[in-house]
Structure 1
Amino acid sequence: MVSHAHQGTTSSALTRLSVNAARLLGTPPHGYAHLLGLAPEHLNDDLCRTPAATGIRIAELSTTHAPWSELSLVLAQQSSIGALGVWDYLITSAPTPLEGIRDGAAYLATVADTGTDSLRITEDGDHITISHVNQGERTYEVACAIRAYALGLYQRRLSEAAQRRLVPVHVALATEAPRRHDGLTELYGTRAIDFEAPLTSMTFLASDLKAPSPHAQPGLSAVLRRHAEQTLANAIPLHDWLDLFRIALASAHDHTTPTLSTVARRMTISPRTLQRRLDEHGTTWNDELETLRRTHITHLLHDTDLTIDAIAARSGYADARALRRAVQRWYNTTPAALRRAGHPHGSASARPNGD
């Protein structure tokens, strides 16, 4: 049902939600608009599947502008019925909310990357617990936001299936308690939230999830399952390995000077395999790192008032002298002259050298 080709990607519908949330949180689009899958012809095509790394990158940038708890709330608020396509209706059209969420778990690949994320359902007497498990390489804030949003999304769809708001008897989040809980209380409709739990989950009364859904139609679930399978069969996963590498490299660069082993771990491959794949694509680790630094430094020179010393420190150079040597090599000019000139292609003296 789920081919290996879908792993490492998410639906364009989920990516659109991430982009909308980023916009609402005031995240500057220049940080993510160039990423693979965000061209209009891909983002607005429901057959396209976006690299999961693109969505993670958008979330990373968003959590620099707002707490992870606010990002999870904004994502849930944008997730109206139908926003995630057939997956939404698998849950809301089943005979009971429980049968619907079971279908949602079985066909989670129509929305998410099932190589890293899964939805689990556990029955225990009078209670049913729904868990979201994430095993991907993500920053702490992004992992918290995704897990909290997933629970809010499941609750919203179950409530839509029941045609009334279903409030969990207990919510557990595998995260430290944020400074403010207001957004999470609004998201789940309860203050019964435990933090630092071993697993992110929410527990409902079994009687709530096993009650007949008011608008269930006999046979519709089978039709929707076939549609979900067809959706996966016709999907177009966007898998340009070099672009995925560059997304991972840029993401690592935000937090520290990236190392080959750090980026390899983000891409779940060995450092040796990473070097071999770069060679296959006609490039090297050092070339890619220098290109990223050049882009980053040019942006800082043009769009900030940081001193040359500060820019050198942010870019992984030992000192301002090393930075000046790099700018001279790239553009045949000095950082000060490049800053005055504006865009490096705006004058002959500020064009990158061909090396």
Structure 2
Amino acid sequence: MVSHPHQGTTSSALTRLSVNAARLLGVPPHGYANLLGVAPEHLNDDLCRTPAATAIRIAELTTAHAPWTELSLALAQQSSIGSLGVWDYLITSAPTPLEGIRDAAAYFAAVADTATDTLRITEDGDHVTISHVNRADLTHEAACAIRGYALGLYQRRLSEAARRRLAPVRVTLDAAAPGRHGALAELYGTRAIDFEAPDSSITFLASDLKVPVPHAQPGLSAVLRRHAEQTLATAIPLHNWLDLFRTALASAHDETTPTLSAVARRMTVSTRTLQRRLDEHGTTWNNEVETLRRAQITRLLHDTDLGIDAIAARSGYADARALRRAVQRWYGTTPAALRRTGPPDDGGTALPDTG
């Protein structure tokens, strides 16, 4: 499993599916609209990682309003190819469906919270079994919906990779048999489902998953794996209010030199409230702006050929002299030397703690 620093969060793409399913099933939006990460600027930003607690709450609200089987089906029906970003294409672009689902398991962190959810693949002779394990602290109905959807998603992606609907040999669910099986029969294409099983899994013929994918492009899987790694490396986890503030600050900085009032407007609070909340989190406006500038300047020096004057202008400094003073304060060196050697392993002279 590829390690990542974003446990406790899920991709915004997965949260978008959950919100859309809740709407389709008639869940009143006032129950989830104010949850962390559901604001449009975060929900529609693929760089943002939504707190897993948000996704859990939406699932619980939805299964309190509709049967868990309906939620599983609604999520799967919305999960068209590409809806989960590069993770989808890891499965559909590999040389074989089996290699694709193995890549998907290795980079499961690109969509899910690997602290609680696991995709397991077991080969046993003529069969391949794909299991979804969920250990999150949520209601049983919501857990059933998540596991049920996951198995349907895996079947859909594998079928898209094979360019034909793959019929499972067996489906097992860690859930009591529902009163009606119609939604699950539609989801899996079979009524042969074992309930109250030790785990939730879907089994295919190994021969179906080992057939070469039509029109597979050599080398594409390696490109997609690198893209998945980059997606995780650049993701922004929204664990708390300070994460939301830093996302708003970065967005404002991308457009112009950020001001306290501009970021306060983005967050729909007063400047006084914004300053108070920063103080509660042990930081200040000036500290946060300087931290953002330091990261941007370091990146521009390392990744571009821009001159010092251009970097100063782009970073909000009055001139190159002001930028040189800042780099000296942070790293004890000059921009030219920093460009040649990169920042020290310890990040140089630390700014005040902003966490």
Q: Same fold (TM over 0.5)?
A: yes
- Structure 2 residue 148 is matched with structure 1 residue 144: no
3-state SS, counterpart of residue 64 of structure 2: coil
Distance 1:37 1:3 in 2: 23
Q: Which residue of 2 aligns with 1:220?
A: 220
Distance 1:223 1:188 in 2: 31
3-state SS, counterpart of residue 120 of structure 1: strand
Distance 1:135 1:35 in 2: 22
Match runs of 1:255-274 below 5 Å: none
Letter in 1 for 2:60: E
**Moved beyond 2 Å, runs of 4+:** 1-5
Q: Which residue of 2 aligns with 1:239?
A: 239
Contact preservation (8 Å) 1:68, 1:145: yes
Q: Which residue of 2 aligns with 1:62?
A: 62
Q: Which residue of 2 aligns with 1:104?
A: 104
- Structure 2 residue 206 is matched with structure 1 residue 206: yes
Return 5+ residue gaps in structure 2 as ranges.
Answer: 244-279, 283-355
- Structure 2 residue 188 is matched with structure 1 residue 178: no
- TM-score, structure 2 length as denominator? 0.67
Distance 1:4 1:230 in 2: 11
Q: CA deviation at 1:242?
A: 9.8
Q: Which residue of 2 aligns with 1:86?
A: 86
Q: CA deviation at 1:126?
A: 0.6
3-state SS, counterpart of residue 213 of structure 2: coil
Q: Which residue of 2 aligns with 1:22?
A: 22
Return 5+ residue gaps in structure 1 as ranges.
Answer: 244-279, 283-355
Distance 2:66 2:126 in 1: 38
3-state SS, counterpart of residue 65 of structure 2: coil
- TM-score, structure 1 length as denominator? 0.67
Distance 1:70 1:3 in 2: 33
Distance 1:67 1:104 in 2: 28
Percent identity over paired residues: 83
Distance 1:52 1:179 in 2: 30
Distance 2:16 2:64 in 1: 19
CA deviation map 1:247-282 (0-9, x unaligned): xxxxxxxxxxxxxxxxxxxxxxxxxxxxxxxxx979
Q: Which residue of 2 aligns with 1:189?
A: 189
Q: CA deviation at 1:192?
A: 1.0
Distance 1:135 1:63 in 2: 18
Q: Which residue of 2 aligns with 1:342?
A: none
Q: Aligned pair count?
A: 247
Distance 1:233 1:174 in 2: 34
Letter in 2 for 1:98: L
Contact preservation (8 Å) 1:119, 1:131: yes
Distance 1:4 1:66 in 2: 34
Distance 2:125 2:77 in 1: 32
3-state SS, counterpart of residue 26 of structure 1: coil
Q: CA deviation at 1:40?
A: 1.1
